[in-house]
Amino acid sequence: MQFHLNGFHPGDPRFSDPQDAVVPPPIKRPLPQEVDVLIVGCGPAGLNLAAQLTQFEGIRVAIIDQKDDRLLVGQADGIACRTMEMFQAYGFADQIIQEAYQVNEAAFWKPSEQKPNEIARSSKVQDVADDLSEMPHLIINQARVHDMFLDVMRRSAAKLEPHYQRKLLDLEVDPQGGEYPVTARIERLVNYSQYTQEVETIRAKYVVGCDGARSSVRTAIGKELVGDALNQAWGVMDVLLNTDFPDIRLKSLIHSNNEGNMLIIPREGGYMVRLYIELDKLKENERVARDQMTPEILIAAANRIMQPYTIDVKEVAWWSVYEIGQRITTAFDDSEEGRPARVFLAGDACHTHSPKAGQGLNTSVMDTWNLGWKLAHVLTGRADEKILKTYSDERREYGQALIDFDREFSRMFSAKPKSADNPDGVDPAEFQRYFQLFGEYTAGVSIQYRPSIMVGEGTHQALASGLVVGKRFHSAPVIRHGDAKPVQLGHCHTANGAYRVYAFAGNQTPMSAECGVKALCDYLANDANSPLKKYTPADADPDAVIDLRAVFQQHHHEIERDTLHPVLTPRKGKYGLIDHEKVFCADNRPLSSGGGKNIYDMRGIDKSRGCIVIVRPDQYVADVLPLDDYAGLSRFFDGVLIEA
């Protein structure tokens, strides 16, 4: 899509008249007195958590923010491949892809050997490695991501809307517990005289602070951000411009000789770009003189860095100045010895870092993607509170890894190029190698959670070497048996909080007496220890808690529908309609027809024995088991679910 041709306008770009994209302001209404979860902050972490919780019927949620209304122009813009996989679970990935700029290549520029005061391109590299994800790396206004989450919330049964103009004053957690152990006092920011204060009180079972680096929730539970700053200042601006710089529509990383460094990120719509511009190094404890900074100063700095090229800025849609600092909170929740957590922190309330590696929004939404379904399972009676401890255990380790990565990335990006006059500088070729080496990290697919009640030891990892226990489920193409449609297997994962169990068949004839998938289905349907029988409520659909899917190696024409086990054709809904989308086959089509990508080969699945792959609601592989390890399958679910 191309848009912003005649100026930047926020909102849905599919409206020809920008005024038609304006969303009415929210209706002013009081807060409820009691909720299951109170979310503080309408950033990406908070909205993602709210959107996920609304997928569970009966959970009462309130989300508050100090702002007057929804975000229109966002600060974050990079959407990692892993985040797009999560968006697919909500159903809005396709719309994001349609609107966004897709990052395909990155260009590296360094001082010219012939003219050191001018820059020259050193190379272009592929931005995302082949088969890293079925999803692309994208650039889009953060506000559009917020809009998507808000739509999910509004369209849910809860019809949830944020409560704006609300400032958290304080929190109190009752050590004795009770049904609603957390009491929050919230100031309603209204246009009364300065001597009037309207305070609302709300009681909650859990509170989640998604309220940024200056988090009031974090302060209320006595936690703080610790770390250091690199004493570097950067300007950032979204602009509509003309230029003779040849790579203006590529992600470009520029090291100049004496004028500083710059990062160019093309924006959605085909015309706008984001410029990250290095400013002078700050003195110790010095803050950026924001009141002295102007867009004109940033534009002049960009033109100095880009010599011999120039930019002619026609419109500044947004700009800001920030200082780089890497900090992480002392704890991700308020748990104490003998008392489980009642208050959690997520997003920038937990960790702060530079935006150049594009990890802020992406890490924030992954925090609450990890937490949301766990809270929902506890609140709906599916799981014990003990699973909530895994949130802090899993996300704090990754938050620290992010800080370490960002510190090194920022140091290399901000350093002067290595030269005869500056032998201690950074070799631009070394920086490029670092950029490529950590491609999995910046794409968000490198996370591997450690063994716990929710992650197995990986004893049988060899049965599916490419579906790594503790890492996200790496999707691959398959053919859906019911309608012969080529699909991505990972797109079975929706944000409904269900575990997925994939039964990859061995080389036996499908549904024959020797077929391991048939034997597994018999166990799940009939055995008293079957997790399907133990953990699925009587009034719920058969796949509401554990969603079984089967994958066969044979061509889909070789399997007749009437041979499938009833567990793979479950009856659902008030009419008991048959679900025809539980069975898949490897893509055996020839290359000429778009095939040639066999999931067994791509993901290292044992073709002789097959296997079971258990996937958590947040799309992470919980364990890989032999196809006949019924005890191991039941043992895993016995550890994370409560009998219905």
- Tell me, what's the pLDDT at 227? 81
The answer to whether 59 and 376 are in contact (CB under 8 A) is: yes
Average pLDDT over residues 354-377: 87
Told to judge if 355 belongs to the known catalytic residues of this protein, a careful annotator would answer yes
- Tell me, what's the pLDDT at 157? 93
Stronger pLDDT, 411 or 219, i.e. the higher one = 219
Average pLDDT over residues 211-234: 85
Q: Is residue 332 predicted with pLDDT exceeding 90? A: yes
The answer to whether 606 and 464 are in contact (CB under 8 A) is: yes
Arithmetic mean of pLDDT over the chain: 91
Determine which one of 101, 164, 206, 276 is catalytic: 276
Write out the DSSP string of 555-623.
-GGGS-GGGS-GGGS-EETTTTEEP--SEEEE----GGGT----HHHHTTB-TTT-EEEEE-TTSBEEE
Q: Is residue 325 predicted with pLDDT exceeding 80? A: no
Of 333-342, 357-366, 386-395, 418-427, where does mean pLDDT reach its minimum? 418-427
User: Which architecture characterizes domain 461-640 according to CATH?
Assistant: 3-Layer(aba) Sandwich (3.40)
Average pLDDT over residues 220-236: 81
- Tell me, what's the pLDDT at 414? 67
pTM value > 0.75: yes
Give tens-digit pLDDT for 35-83: 999 999 999 999 999 999 999 999 999 999 999 888 888 777 899 999 9
Q: How sure is the predictor about 279, in pLDDT bands with cuts at 50, 70 and 90? A: confident
- Tell me, what's the pLDDT at 482? 96
Stronger pLDDT, 254 or 413, i.e. the higher one = 254
Of 221-230, 266-275, 480-489, where does mean pLDDT reach its minimum? 221-230
CA dist., res. 389 & res. 335, Å (int): 9
Average pLDDT over residues 150-175: 95
Q: Is residue 284 predicted with pLDDT exceeding 60? A: no
- Tell me, what's the pLDDT at 504? 98
Q: Is residue 530 predicted with pLDDT exceeding 90? A: yes
Residue 519 φ/ψ, nearest 5 degrees: -65, -40
Determine which one of 70, 144, 166, 267 is catalytic: 267
Helices marked H in 460-591 — which ranges?
516-526, 531-535
Give tens-digit pLDDT for 546-586: 999 999 999 999 999 999 999 999 999 999 999 999 999 99
Give tens-digit pLDDT for 492-518: 999 999 999 999 999 999 999 999 999
Q: Is residue 436 predicted with pLDDT exceeding 70? A: no
Give tens-digit pLDDT for 603-631: 999 999 999 999 999 999 999 999 999 99
Strands (E), 210-342: 225-243, 251-255, 261-266, 272-278, 311-329
476 Cβ neighbours under 8 A, 6+ residues apart: 134, 488, 489, 490, 597, 599, 602, 603
DSSP code for 280: P
- Tell me, what's the pLDDT at 371? 98
Told to judge if 276 belongs to the known catalytic residues of this protein, a careful annotator would answer yes
Determine which one of 10, 13, 181, 355 is catalytic: 355
Average pLDDT over residues 372-376: 98
Q: Where are the domains of the chain?
A: 461-640
Stronger pLDDT, 426 or 153, i.e. the higher one = 153
Q: Is residue 130 predicted with pLDDT exceeding 90? A: yes
